[in-house]
Amino acid sequence: TTQVKKICCLGAGYVGGPTCAVIAYKCHDIDVTIVDLNESRIAAWNSDHLPIYEPGLDKIVFERRGKNLFFTTQVEQSVLEADLIFVSVNTPTKKSGLGAGFAADLAYVESATRQIADVAKSSKIVVEKSTVPCRTAESMRTILEANSNENIRFDILSNPEFLAEGTAINDLLNPDRVLIGGLQTPEGMKAQQALVEVYAHWVPTDRIITTNLWSSELSKLAANALLAQRISSINALSAICEATGADIDEVAYACGRDTRIGPKFLKASVGFGGSCFQKDILNLVYLSEQLNLPEVAAYWKQVVDLNEYQKKRFVSRVIKTLFNTITNKKIAIFGFAFKKDTGDTRESAAITLCKDFIQENAKVRIYDPKVTTEQIFLDLSEPGVVDNTKQLKNRVTIAKSAYEASEDADAIVITTEWDEFKVSIELDYQKIYDQMHKPAFIFDGRLILDAEKLRNIGFRVHTIGRAEA
């Protein structure tokens, strides 16, 4: 089989960066070059302050950078030299045109593919790492083959990434499985084997699954749809709990003890966020519609609709509890990232919640340990509105700590499950209580607080999935 000696990765984002850094860390015999068009992102990867926060990432990058791990904007050179190229560029939901709001925008994948076709002077294995609709490899193959000749061939593989932000390095070092799809032809299977051998440097071979191309592409969308569906299912049940006196944590535990169901991903919350779940399900919905399967499309669409409902329901509960008005009330927002241990805010539930609170003329004071002030204002600005930051700054302030955020506040809303917000881990809730307006409310949107302890201090505590006490 072909032995991979040089890897190039197009796209130095949340996926391309950590994935290829781990390959370099585990395969000292392979040179790995990560390329991006975005110069400041590459500069950050080459600096002491990496562009993304991910526990354990620094150590791995600092250890291999300059040895067999390189970050550059020199696309041509890197593609020319590589035997295997990962395409790990962004595939956001289309904003306009056919399929707007549902379909994945494949413009970046296509332009990356064309770049490869234009530059390559020798045979390459091209690997889809980005999450793409089923049968995208076909389009990539058509573009590449139109540019190949008897001296150059392109083999296409699908190798979707299953890492979760916040635990990316551990997920990459100890993956549940690695999935590699390829055409089931002798050449396709040879290419597949070449990538299997890269992962086999550290992943047990029984965890490396090989399938046909289309199964691999669809499995990524399917896995995210199934994961998000569990969250929407438990969130739907949380609404029933609030109305009946059942407790969602108890229900989730009782159900999760059934080994057929299992305990993971059954935590109720203000709703899922992140760049992937919503995008990938909408992508699956669009695919189903294209395949003339409207019932299937409607089924998966409901997972996203329920998520929106959950956020709205939480906002209504906050407003209703605060005596039906939050005008000029101070609301402390604990957490802005879409989950703990990441600085990523893409599709974060906190964005929707804050926008709704601002609409109601509340004063919002936000604290997140990893998200920058600029990012928060960017996320809260309405696209197309010319500079509404000034207006926004009347309503929104950024705090440097949970204490600063809750000073004089009427209510605290927990939007991200950062460990530092947990009672008696780090925060002194008595101190927080003393400095708040009374009655002092806490809304736990992540089920991380010990409500009893907080009530003993004097707080009025409202928790997702529990009736008001």
Point out which span in 33-41, 240-248, 305-313, 315-323 binds ligand NAI (CB under 6 A). 33-41
According to the binding rule CB under 6 A, does residue 32 interact with ligand NAI? no
Per-residue contact string for residues 2-31; x = within reach of ligand NAI by CB under 6 A:
--------xxxxxxx---------------
Q: Could you say which residues in the range 262-281 bind ligand NAI, by CB under 6 A?
A: 275-276
Among 115, 210, 416, 463, binds ligand NAI (CB under 6 A): 115
Task: Considering the complex, state which of residue 47 and residue 111 has its C-beta at the smaller distance from ligand NAI.
Answer: 111
Cβ proximity to ligand NAI, 119 vs 457, nearer residue: 119
Which range touches ligand NAI (CB under 6 A), out of 32-40, 180-188, 348-356, 367-375? 32-40
- Any idea what DSSP says for residue 328? T
Query: H-helix or E-strand containing 434?
Result: helix 429-434
Known binding residues for substrate are: 161-165, 220-224, 260, 267-273, 338-339, 446
Contact 107, 94 (CB under 8 A): no
d(CA 11, CA 396): 33
CB nearer to ligand NAI: pick between 99 and 465: 99
Residue number, 41 or 462, with CB nearest to ligand NAI: 41
Stated as kind and residue range, the H or E segment containing 181 is strand 178-182
Q: Which of residues 211-250 bind ligand NAI (CB under 6 A)?
A: none
Which segments are annotated as binding site for NAD(+)? 11-16, 36, 41, 89-93, 130-131, 165, 276-279, 346
Query: If binding is defined by CB under 6 A, does position 130 make contact with ligand NAI?
Result: yes
Q: Which of 8, 27, 276, 354 is catalytic?
A: 276
Alpha-carbon separation of residue 103 from 192, 290, 443 (angstroms):
28, 10, 35
- With a CB cutoff of 8 Å and minimum separation 6, the contacts of 339 are 165, 166, 273, 274, 416, 417
**Nearest CB to ligand NAI, comparing residues 113 and 310:** 113
Q: Which span (88-96, 347-355, 386-394, 411-419) binds ligand NAI, by CB under 6 A?
A: 88-96
Q: Any residues with CB less than 8 A from the CB of 297 and at least 6 apart, and which?
A: 285, 286, 288, 289
Question: Encoding tokens for residue 290?
Answer: 């294209």
CB of 280 to ligand NAI, least distance (A): 7
Find, among 324, 350, 346, 327, the residue nearest to 418 by Cα: 350
Query: In whole angstroms, what is the distance from residue 148 CA to residue 146 CA?
Result: 6
- Which pairing describes strands 178-182 and 208-212: parallel, antiparallel, or unpaired? parallel
Closest separation in Å from C-beta 135 to ligand NAI = 15
CA distance 116 to 302: 39
Q: Which is nearer to ligand NAI, 329 or 346 (CB)?
A: 346
End-to-end Cα separation, the chain, in angstroms: 65
Q: Per-residue DSSP letters for 27-86? A: -TTSEEEEE-S-HHHHHHHTSSS-SS--TTHHHHHHHHBTTTEEEES-HHHHHHH-SEEE
Residue 134 annotated to the active site:
no
Whether residue 152 contacts residue 122, with contact meaning beta carbons closer than 8 Å, is answered with yes
Residue positions forming the annotated binding site: 11-16, 36, 41, 89-93, 130-131, 161-165, 220-224, 260, 267-273, 276-279, 338-339, 346, 446
Taking the complex as a whole, the smallest distance from the CB of residue 259 to ligand NAI amounts, in Å, to 27
Q: What is the closest distance, in whole angstroms, from the C-beta atom of residue 274 to ligand NAI in the complex?
A: 7
Q: Which stretch binds ligand NAI (CB under 6 A): 94-102, 160-168, 193-201, 429-437?
A: 160-168
Which two structure tokens, joined as six digits, stand for 439?
Answer: 């009655």
> What phi and psi values does residue 16 have, to the nearest 5 degrees?
-55, -45
Q: Work out how close the CB of 45 gets to ligand NAI at its nearest, in angstroms, rounded to a whole number.
A: 10
User: Contact positions toward ligand NAI, by CB under 6 A?
Assistant: 10-16, 35-38, 41, 75, 88-91, 108, 111-112, 115, 130-131, 161, 163, 165, 275-276
Which residues are known to be catalytic? 276
